[in-house]
Amino acid sequence: MTLIPVPGRLVALIFFLLLVAKNNNCYSQTIVKQENQNEKNFLVRTKQFNEFVDRFNYKVNFHGDSADSEFKSKIPRDKLINSLFDLKDPRVDPNNERYSKKYVDEKTEFISEMILKNLSINKHSGKIIAEARSRVLLKGTPHVISIFLSQEVSGNNTVKWVINDVKGDLFNFFKSDTSLVRFIPPSSNETDFLNLKRALDDTDHLQYYSSKDYCPDYLSVFYYMINSKLIQFEYTEEIIYHIIDIPGWFIKVKEFNRNEMNSGWLITDIGKNTFDKFNYLKNN
């Protein structure tokens, strides 16, 4: 394996570097090397979700290099995991009215279990669910929906993200009404289901004409709406990772965009979990 730039590009690059060298005296801009407070903050900040997983697994130091014994002796794993929590969470501040002893105890139990059992997160686990809170336009009006994605690893170790599910008020188009009993009568079959017309005209309450096992598949509804141009995808506003890869627990991770060391991708919530992926998505 080699990596050689094509000759034309090489010539252009040399020419550019010569120009840079020639005009070096009038440089008012640089790639900064000295450290300032901003730089220190960004160094400690968990810059990517990938970095979050590496730090959680005690694999890298703050420079992204392998965590060696010197680093490990300075920063024990429990301290590193604790630094990956949002430390501004009101639930961990005893002076805040939203302080929760239950959450603090659960957090302590979680960290202890990670250390005791030496648990880690599998970076390409299918049990890492990315919730992409996204802006879509429905007939020109903006709506926020959640698109849930997870990673799929194929036999030859290639990885891709796939869409698992979608949620949003947009899809709750059925209305509840218990004042009337809605059904297709038992003798309808003998009249070639003439009642179907009546049932399907009741557009807000179609769910009552379905089986008791009926469960709407919003992803197919979403694909249909996109395909028929009923809605247009605009952009992703925010990502929240739901990690259910660690047995017995769920972890929620999101990006905290603030200029301090405890920033970037941090744990925003943890809790006990007994659901598999399908049921976790259904219940969250």
Residues found near other proteins in the complex (CB under 8 A): 1-4, 6-7, 9, 12-13, 15-16, 19-20, 23, 26-33, 35, 38-39, 42-43, 47-48, 50-51, 64, 123-124, 154, 156-160, 234-235, 237-238, 257-259
Query: Whole-number minimum distance, CB 236 to other proteins, in Å?
Result: 8
Cβ contact 281:148 at 8 Å: yes
DSSP 63-121: TSSB--HHHHHHS-HHHHHHHTB-TT-GGG-TTSTT--HHHHHHHHHHHHHHHHTT---
Closer residue to other proteins in complex, CB, 120/188: 120
Query: Whole-number minimum distance, CB 35 to other proteins, in Å?
Result: 8
Query: Whole-number minimum distance, CB 213 to other proteins, in Å?
Result: 35
CA distance 250 to 253: 10
Query: Whole-number minimum distance, CB 45 to other proteins, in Å?
Result: 8
Closer residue to other proteins in complex, CB, 60/230: 60
Closer residue to other proteins in complex, CB, 42/99: 42
Closer residue to other proteins in complex, CB, 142/186: 142
Cβ contact 55:63 at 8 Å: no
Query: Whole-number minimum distance, CB 109 to other proteins, in Å?
Result: 30
Cβ contacts of 193 within 8 Å, gap of 6 or more: 184
Query: Whole-number minimum distance, CB 159 to other proteins, in Å?
Result: 5
CB-CB neighbours of 49 under 10 Å: 19
- Which two three-digit tokens encode residue 100? 């929760």
Closer residue to other proteins in complex, CB, 7/186: 7
CB-CB neighbours of 217 under 10 Å: 11
Please report, as a single letter, which amino acid is at residue 153: V
Q: Which of 158, 153, 86, 162 is nearest to 125 (CA)?
A: 153
Query: Whole-number minimum distance, CB 11 to other proteins, in Å?
Result: 11
Closer residue to other proteins in complex, CB, 202/260: 260
Closer residue to other proteins in complex, CB, 38/220: 38
Cβ contact 245:234 at 8 Å: no
CA distance 237 to 135: 7
Q: Which of 221, 222, 220 is nearest to 232 (CA)?
A: 222
Please report, as a single letter, which amino acid is at residue 137: L
